[in-house]
Amino acid sequence: MKNSYLMFSCMDSENCYYGHRVFNCVYCVDCSVVNDSQNCYECINGRKLYKCFFSQNVKDCSDCYFLFDCEGCKDCFGCRNLRNKQYCIWNREYSKEAYEKEIILLREQIKMYS
């Protein structure tokens, strides 16, 4: 453990904070039972994640928000039970351009309520 704070039952992680059972991770905050991941926040039971936020029971995912029980997903928001999908919002698949437009709108809505 290097440059980490309040980490319990963790090993081989760096720059991680407030975690439990976090192994081989870098820049993971408020995560529990997460392995081999980078740049994650509020993830539970994940493996091989990159830039995933507020997700649970996920594996091999990147650039995703609010996922549940997903594997191999990229650029997804608010999805559940997906396998090997990309550019999905609420389990509906979009083209890359349409996804980027919708994500901008969703981020603006989130800022309004926070």
Q: Is 36 helix (H, G, I), strand (E, B) or coil?
A: coil
Q: What is the mean pLDDT of each run of 10 residues along the chain (114 residues)?
A: 89 93 96 97 97 97 97 97 97 96 89 74
- Which pLDDT does position 114 carry in this prediction? 63
- Domain total of the chain: 1
Instruction: Read off the pLDDT of residues 77-95 as tens digits, 9 standing for 90 and up.
Output: 999 999 999 999 999 999 9
CATH code, domain carrying 63? 2.160.10
- Which pLDDT does position 99 carry in this prediction? 96
| DSSP percent split of the chain into helix, strand, coil, nearest 5 | 15, 50, 35
Cβ contacts of 75 within 8 Å, gap of 6 or more: 62, 63, 64, 86, 87, 88, 99
- Which pLDDT does position 46 carry in this prediction? 97
Range of the domain at 76: 5-113
- Which pLDDT does position 107 carry in this prediction? 83
State the DSSP string of 87-109. Answer: EEETTEE--HHHHHHHHHHHHHH
Q: Give Cα 35 distance to the centre of its chain.
A: 12
Question: Tokens 């992680």 label which residue?
Answer: 13
